[in-house]
Amino acid sequence: MSVQDVSFDRGVTWPSNGISEVPFRLYTDPEQYRLEQERLFKGPTWNYLCLAGEIPNPGDWVATTLGEVAIIVARDADGAVNAFVNRCAHRGNLLCIERRGHNKEITCIYHGWSYDLAGRLTGVAFEKGVKRQGGMAPEFRKDDHQLQRLRVAEICGLVFGSFDERAPGLETYLGPLVIGGLKRVLDRPYHVIGRSTQILPNNWKLYFENVKDTYHASILHSFLTTFRINRLSMPGSINISEDGGNHFSQAKLDYAAEDADYQAAQLRSDTDLKLADNSVVASVDEYGDQVSVQILTIFPNMVLQQVRNTIAVRVIRPRGVERTELDWVHLGFDDDDAAMTERRLRQGNLIGAAGYISMEDGCVGGFVQRALKDNDGGSGVVMMGGHEAQSQNFRASEAAIRGFWKKYRALMGA
């Protein structure tokens, strides 16, 4: 192997062995992006694929992605959930073009090869030829041409997939701390009440850092502080898995005191601004623990949010060095009454592409990407709250971001 080959395979060089100085080139380098697809998304990680509730019946399937790879998740005749690459074994054509469907088999529109819902090849058009002419070679065997399968695991109705046999079991990968955060929010049967997709003009890592960054919220998101919804002075914590990759942060609210404050101030902020209708923020303590915000991340592509009473899964999909798709899947619980469903839908306006709280998140990553274009030397500073990636009982910290880079460096070999 030449020196040039070694350099090509290493990707971006870090300035130190630590995780509090992050090279800017990580967000702009095409070779780094290629290595991420292989070592992170196809590596020993578990990636969110879909909700089990999206494929409730045998024959149901959804088309999704893992990193940049097109994936099919299907429930077969026995009720088992399978995941395999959405690519015909014949000539590489995309098998499922629509987002979801229901069939006993999946058939390629190009040459008619068909597969069952476990990814096994079941039929080849003109396999024996036409009028005894042509057809597949005598040594051809269908069993040799199955679709590439993924490992599949499920927790709390969330379906995850992995390409890598080296990945530990899903529950080990998540760790007991983060599993507790998952089960706290998804504590009963739920269903989809809405979804949307936004395109972010930035590298995928900038968004994942953003949702692990607790201290920017009261600075960037003026709606939060203007109407006293979330401040760093509120009780809270950052809870990080041992390997750093997964985490959840929480902020607690005295719901009764807030209601009294809003009523006394007639929904006014500390300024002259006023909410004409407080239904977008009016909430109830449905979990009984005063946690008004919980943001949970699973490395490398999923976020679970509870922002007051709006619950959503966010899916981060890399689409090139400078482009990311962000899917929002809004959830309601099966035992919600009409008032709670209405509350969740109204509070859904707080987050998303045009959310009163989070629309800035859709912009700021693009601002960073623009600033780094053709000027990506040096490193960013991630030292708020120290240099380690450990759980903390305060939120003025970048510990969870350092946790991301701890996991990232371990997998990338950086």
The two tokens of residue 77 are 């005749």
| SS3 (DSSP) at 24 | helix
Q: Which of 46, 53, 118, 37 is nearest to 84 (CA)?
A: 118
Predicted confidence (pLDDT) per residue in 186-196, tens digit: 999 999 999 99
What was the pLDDT predicted at 8?
44
What was the pLDDT predicted at 202?
98
What was the pLDDT predicted at 271?
60
Q: Cis peptide leading into 300, omega within 30 of 0?
A: yes
β-bridge pairing 151-155 and 121-123: unpaired
Alpha helices by DSSP H, 189-245: 204-212, 217-220, 222-226
What was the pLDDT predicted at 225?
72
Average of per-residue pLDDT across 175-185 = 98
Q: Which of 126, 159, 155 is nearest to 140 (CA)?
A: 126
Task: Output Rg (C-alpha) for the chain, integer angstroms.
Answer: 24
Higher confidence at residue 217 or residue 261?
Answer: 217
Average pLDDT, the chain: 91
Query: CA-to-CA distance for 75 and 81, rounded, in angstroms?
Result: 4
Predicted confidence (pLDDT) per residue in 347-386, tens digit: 998 888 888 888 888 899 999 999 999 999 999 999 999 8
What DSSP state is assigned to residue 101?
E
pLDDT at 403 over 50: yes
What was the pLDDT predicted at 275?
78
What was the pLDDT predicted at 259?
54
| SS3 (DSSP) at 407 | helix
Domains of the chain: 47-153 (2.102.10.10), 177-412 (3.90.380.10)
> Residues 282, 287, 289, 292: is their CA dihedral positive or negative?
negative
Predicted confidence (pLDDT) per residue in 42-60, tens digit: 999 999 999 999 999 999 9
Predicted confidence (pLDDT) per residue in 199-238, tens digit: 999 999 999 999 999 888 778 887 877 776 766 677 889 9
Higher confidence at residue 11 or residue 162?
Answer: 162
pLDDT at 268 over 50: no
In this prediction, what percent of the chain has a pLDDT beyond 90? 77
How would residue 272 be classed by pLDDT, with cut points 50, 70 and 90?
Answer: low
How would residue 166 be classed by pLDDT, with cut points 50, 70 and 90?
Answer: very high
| SS3 (DSSP) at 288 | coil
Q: Which of 372, 381, 386 is nearest to 32 (CA)?
A: 372
